[in-house]
Structure 1
Amino acid sequence: MANSQQQVCDIAMNITTMEEVHEALNDAGDRFAIYIIYPFLMILGIITNGAFCIVLARVPRMRTITNTYLVNLAVADLTFLIVAVSEKLFNNWVSQIPADKTHIGLPGCIVIPFILNCTYFTSIFTITLVSVEKFYAICRPLEHRKFSGKKRTMKLIVGAWILSAIISCCFIPGRARLEVVCMNWPEKAPKLPSKVTYCLAIRVWKGFEHVANFLQTIPFFIAMVVNTILYTQILRTMHRRVGARSQLAEARLVQMRNQVATMLVANGIVFFICQMLFQALSISLSFRHLKEPLLADWQVQKALVVARIFSYANSAVNSIVYNIFSSRYRQAFKETFCWRKQRKILPMLELELTRQTR
């Protein structure tokens, strides 16, 4: 029986003790994260990002160039959350072995990471585009008026998705081969799958998974440096201009613009902080095979669980950050969802508009 299994499997793995069995399975902490924390963050992300899109659809004054970028960010975050969490739930529902891809096969090994990488890189590029747009609006307003426009914004957004797709395609060879492992469990072990399938790099690119772990961090750190420079310039310019405006209406306009800029800086900082642990682990894993690792395998897995929690949380809290730092966004959310209060206010606004048109 063992010989027939080895003929249809790439390799065989013998698990001899119950301790090794427990190490091969998800423990209580892993299951709590997969079945409780991840779904909670996905539902939170659907609510917050969906609410933001509804606000922009119902409040015309919120349809600005900056918010066009932020809607694109919300779409990328929603897609990332739904695909990432659904894949974790499905894999752990059909198999007790972590990273077992038997039920999704080679198409799943290629398509799911491609979608996750594409949406992740799009988020990075979108946050950077928002920073560039706000930098020119505040630090170089004359130049901003010349090239600012919704057509140009849409072209940049489409370009961000295309560039993200191209970069994501480069990582496909890292998961384009299936390796089937025959598992020989001890007699006392619970009923577990006899075969486990893993997604690995194609054989002609030996060690590509290590290179890929390092390469995927490069856009993140480049974007972090660029955004840090832009944030510094934006905050310095806003600080110099405090109190420089004398007219009340113009002062309010500047205050509103600066408030939105502060919100975007805070949102960007939250993004880079939440993603930092995952990127640091990716760099660590890329060099792990070269020397004696500092962390055991189980410690790396625990760190990855924590890193995923931060990554998923970042995709869910953007709208919360908007409301914390900007009264304009808070007012728009109130107008959209506090419908009882809105019903009382709308007739008054209509009456005032009628008076002004007479």
Structure 2
Amino acid sequence: MERNLSRCIQTDNITSLVDAKSFGYSNGETFYTTVFLPLIAFFGVVVNLAFIFVVSRVPRMHTSTNCYLINLAIADIVFLLTGVGEKLYRFVKSPIHGDDTPIQNGGCVWIYLITDTTYFVSLCFVTLVSIERFCAVCKPQNRYCISKSKAGVLACIAWMLSVCLASALITTNSKFFTICIIWPKEALYLNYPESWGLCTAFYPWVKAYGEGMQTIPFFLTLVINGIMYILIIRGLNKSVSRLKSHSERSSEIDSRMRDQITRMLIINGFIFFLCLAPFEILSFIEMLSGIQKRLLFHSDTLVGLSYSARALAYINCVINPVIYTTMSQRYRHAFKQVFSIERPSVPVTGQSCTTKYIGSTTQEHVRVNFDSRL
């Protein structure tokens, strides 16, 4: 059958069976795409939906912090459904690994726009939660917490800013190239497609620009949150120290609650940035490779590291609500209220603390801010 090569930017004549086999999915890649990612997506969507349902169901959980956390959970759900969904769709439609032909030009724009938006949104809401926690703990003279209306405005701004940043990355994947392939004359490759597609940038320097646009906000957010965490921990220590001269019992209670919130803050922050850091470091290395026009790692090593880094990024969308609920008595109690078969001992319709004044003692500060997470 005569091939139509006019639509291809190049034609690859594959004569080696080893080279031809490298185009397909390996056993590890097949397991990763068809088993690991669907399980992660299913579990992630379930726990994030449960988190959203519980917070929306219990009025006393209607705080500005939870407004940010709900938006963060929504971003995680969208990321999981889009990222895992498009990989499963590619796997079903084409036997060639990394083939962008199933998504075509439209997918080159919209899929990456959506996933990039959710990525920037996560960074925004992580920072908003940290800022609110910092203000509550380190600025007790401001005797109020941000209202839901203000939190809603900030949430809208975060989404709009994230869309703008993601739109700035469209050019890094907006060009769809078609490459024709002449396969070996083996029975295995008789039904293989005659071409495969690739979403990429028009120019190599645009790819390096995209890597920089992705990594710089991450490391900037990491530094900002790290500084605020240190200041928050210092503020908690100072507040508890001031109470030691007032009441020994109160100091003991405050110390215990301080330790709980400190552990929760450190663990959530550490895991969030730990899960995303490998992928961002690899992106930074890719940017340097593009600038220097040479590979800094062997391609096989880079592929293995890339799969591990992406797996951690997907796990990050699942594990945060689990850790936060595990470490917070308030959230555990809310889950029991909503999902318990028996009638809850404390009414579900509690008073919202959205406009509640924050007291002047550390014990009151911790109680108000104990339901925040990174």
TM-score scaled by length of structure 1: 0.89
Structure 2 CA distance for aligned equivalents of residues 303 and 330 of structure 1:
36
Q: Which amino acid aligns with 1:311?
A: A
Residues 265 and 128 of structure 1, relative CA distance in 2, 3 Å threshold:
farther
Q: Is the 8 A contact 2:177 2:197 kept in 1?
A: yes
Structure 1 CA distance for aligned equivalents of residues 49 and 327 of structure 2:
19
In the alignment, which residue of structure 2 is the partner of 1:33? 32
Structure having the higher helix fraction is 1
In the alignment, which residue of structure 2 is the partner of 1:186? 184
**Matched residue SS, 1:317:** helix
Alpha-carbon shift at residue 304 of structure 1 (Å): 1.4
In the alignment, which residue of structure 2 is the partner of 1:269? 270
Q: How many residues align?
A: 343
| 1:171-250 paired onto structure 2 within 5 Å | 171-188=169-186, 189-190=188-189, 191-202=191-202, 205-242=203-240, 244-245=242-243, 246=246
Unpaired stretches in structure 2, ≥5 consecutive residues: 351-374
In the alignment, which residue of structure 1 is the partner of 2:355? none
1:331 aligns with 2:333: yes
Structure 2 CA distance for aligned equivalents of residues 281 and 26 of structure 1:
22
Structure 1 CA distance for aligned equivalents of residues 81 and 232 of structure 2:
34
**Matched residue SS, 2:240:** coil
Q: Which amino acid aligns with 1:45?
A: G
Unpaired stretches in structure 1, ≥5 consecutive residues: 351-358
Deviates more, 1:64-73 or 1:111-120: 64-73
Q: Is the 8 A contact 1:100 1:198 kept in 2?
A: yes
| 1:138-149 paired onto structure 2 within 5 Å | 138-143=137-142, 145=144, 148-149=146-147
Structure 2 CA distance for aligned equivalents of residues 321 and 312 of structure 1:
15
1:293 aligns with 2:295: yes
**Matched residue SS, 2:5:** helix
Deviates more, 1:9-18 or 1:287-296: 287-296
Alpha-carbon shift at residue 214 of structure 1 (Å): 2.2
Residues 144 and 232 of structure 1, relative CA distance in 2, 3 Å threshold:
farther
Residues 68 and 260 of structure 1, relative CA distance in 2, 3 Å threshold:
farther
Identity %: 33
In the alignment, which residue of structure 2 is the partner of 1:354? none
Residues 344 and 211 of structure 1, relative CA distance in 2, 3 Å threshold:
closer
TM-score scaled by length of structure 2: 0.85
**Matched residue SS, 2:197:** strand
Alpha-carbon shift at residue 255 of structure 1 (Å): 6.3
Indicate the RMSD between aligned Cα atoms, in angstroms: 2.4
**Matched residue SS, 2:178:** strand
Alignment deviations for residues 16-45 of structure 1 (CA, whole Å, 9 cap, x no partner): 111101212221111111111111111111
Q: Is the 8 A contact 2:236 2:258 kept in 1?
A: no
Structure 2 CA distance for aligned equivalents of residues 78 and 150 of structure 1:
22
| 1:101-116 paired onto structure 2 within 5 Å | 101-116=100-115
Alpha-carbon shift at residue 291 of structure 1 (Å): 5.2
**Matched residue SS, 2:193:** coil
Deviates more, 1:250-259 or 1:130-139: 250-259
Residues 162 and 250 of structure 1, relative CA distance in 2, 3 Å threshold:
farther
